[in-house]
Structure formats: structure tokens, C-alpha cells
Amino acid sequence: MSVVLVLGLLMNAIILPIAGKRVFFLFKLITSGQPAPDRVEGVTSRIGSSIKTQVVEVFGQKSSSSGPSRALHTSSSSGHS
């Protein structure tokens, strides 16, 4: 059991600095851009329609787990349906 503990601590000691460096890089990248308050204002002014559009697009899709779609059957070149 102590081998597993030491191995886990060693892996954390290696991975955490790498992850921290990546988070710091992403933070610098995000904060280096110009502020865009008009973009945020444009999004917040139409939040209701944006949510409705997302719901329609996500839940309006047909399930792909129920088998092949009809589009695959209707696009055959043989002319049979």
C-alpha cells in the first residue's frame, strides 16, 4: 500500500507543475486580448433567444443510436427507396 501512495505522490509532483504552467499560459493568453464590452452586451441582450436556439438545435437532432438515418437510404444512386 505504501508503494501506491509514494507512486501517486510522485505522479502528482510531476503532473501538477505541468498543469499549473498550462493554466498560467491560458490565463495570460486570455487576458492579453483587448476588452470587448460590446460583445458581452450583445450576448446578454439576446440571452433568451440564444438559449432557445441551443435547445432546439440540441434536442431537435435525431438519435443516431437507433440505427442508420433515412438520409443514408434516400441518397443511394440505384433509384430504389
Q: For cell 441582450, what's the residue?
A: 45
> For helices 47-59 and 37-45, what crossing angle results, to 10°?
70
pLDDT over 90 (residue 65):
no
pLDDT over 70 (residue 81):
no
Cβ atoms of 20 and 13 within 8 Å: the answer is no
What confidence tens digit (pLDDT) does each residue in 17-51 have?
A: 999 999 999 999 989 988 888 877 777 788 888 88
Dist CA 53 CA 46 (whole Å): 11
Average pLDDT of the chain, as a whole number: 81
